[in-house]
Amino acid sequence: MATSGPTTGGAAAAAPKDSWPEVVGLSSEEAKKKIKEEKPEADVHVVPADAFVTMDYNTGRVRVFVDSNDKVARAPKIG
């Protein structure tokens, strides 16, 4: 009788998420909602796509860069 070993499919799903490419094109509010659903402790900052921001790395912060139409311009990520 064969037994199955541990699967690796669950390991990838359990890995902490550090970016949200799926929100590109959404409004800033929709993106914030999605990010907060998956990482409730995140401090989400919405900033213009061409804004100057500090280069410090902050594991509790997610910046959402939006265009002039309030649409997410690039994938938000932790930092």
In a domain, 7, yes or no: no
Q: What integer pLDDT is reported at residue 7 of this predicted model?
A: 52
At 2 the pLDDT is 54
- pLDDT for the residue 58: 96
- For the stretch 13-61, pLDDT in tens is 567 789 999 999 999 999 999 999 999 999 999 999 999 999 999 999 9
Q: Is residue 8 part of a domain?
A: no
Confidence class for position 74, pLDDT limits 50, 70, 90: very high
Comparing CA positions, the residue from 22, 70, 78, 17 lying closest to residue 47 is 70
Closest alpha carbon to 42 in 70, 23, 67, 25: 23
Question: What pLDDT shows up at residue 16?
Answer: 78
- 41 within a domain of the structure (yes/no): yes
Residue 61: which CATH number? 3.30.10.10
User: Has residue 12 been placed in a domain?
Assistant: no
Count of other CB atoms within 10 angstroms of residue 72: 25
d(CA 19, CA 8): 21
